[in-house]
Amino acid sequence: MYPLSDEQVDLIDQDLIRLGLTTESVRANILDHVCILIEQQIGHADEFDKAYRSLLPTFYHKDLREIEWQTQLLLLSRDHLILTKIQFFTLLFLMLAGPFVIYLLWAISAQPTASTYLVPKAVWGPVLAYAAWPLSSLIVIFLIPDHLDPPVPKHARIALGVAPLIAVIKR
């Protein structure tokens, strides 16, 4: 068994990127797997190139990108979505429409005149400004493509979602 040098590991890693393996965690796994198999096969540094060139094609049928595509395909499967599209857009609609509906109900119960139905700028202006945060947060949290790698963990999404709030406060 011959332990691969850092340069050889780098060379394989760069080659995997060049061949289209962009998802970092999958690439790291494949890199480790390739290294283990090469280390088992060779006894000397001179044998590395030949061993690597003959080993890599055994990982795919036509192209290494198959692994990348398969990864994306599995991530896009509906099973792991937090909200369905309908739930997401219903939530967005409720967040936007909610304050207006409440205002109208309040206005109607207080002074039922014709002008009641015209929502004053003093109401819809701040509502839109403050809705910017929850809306942006929701968009950031739920619309971050899951194929981004390393997968953006939930706490990071929430942290990212807070960023638009800071922007609103600063404004």
Partner 1 sequence: MTHSPELLKGTLKTILLKLLADHKKLYGYEMTQKVKEITGDKIQITEGALYPVLHALESEGLVTTEIEYIGKRMRKHYMLNAKGVHATAEKVKEVASFIDSLALLLKLPVKVS
Amino acid making up residue 58? T
**Based on CB atoms, which residue is closest to partner 1, 66 or 103?**
66
> Is the peptide bond prior to 3 cis by the omega test (within 30 degrees of 0)?
no
Rule CB under 8 A: say whether 33 interacts with partner 1: yes
78-112 in b/e form (b: 16+ CB < 10 A) is eeeeeeeeeebeeebeeeeeebeeebeeebeeeee
Binding track, positions 99-138, relative to partner 1; x by CB under 8 A: ----------------------------------------
Cβ-contact 119, 103 below 8 angstroms: yes
Count residues near partner 1 (CB under 8 A).
Answer: 33
Kindly write down the DSSP assignment for every residue of 21-47, as one continuous string: ---HHHHHHHHHHHHHHHHHH-SSGGG
Report d(CA 163, CA 170) in Å as an integer: 11
Q: How far is the CB of 139 from partner 1 (least distance, A)?
A: 20
Report d(CA 132, CA 64) in Å as an integer: 42
**Based on CB atoms, which residue is closest to partner 1, 33 or 50?**
33
Residues 43-82 contacting partner 1, CB under 8 A: 59-61, 66-67, 70-71, 73-75, 77, 79-80
Which of 29, 54, 87, 90 binds partner 1 (CB under 8 A)? It is 29
Rule CB under 8 A: say whether 15 interacts with partner 1: no
Contact residues toward partner 1 (CB under 8 A) are 3-4, 6, 9-10, 13, 23, 25-26, 28-33, 35-37, 59-61, 66-67, 70-71, 73-75, 77, 79-80, 146, 151
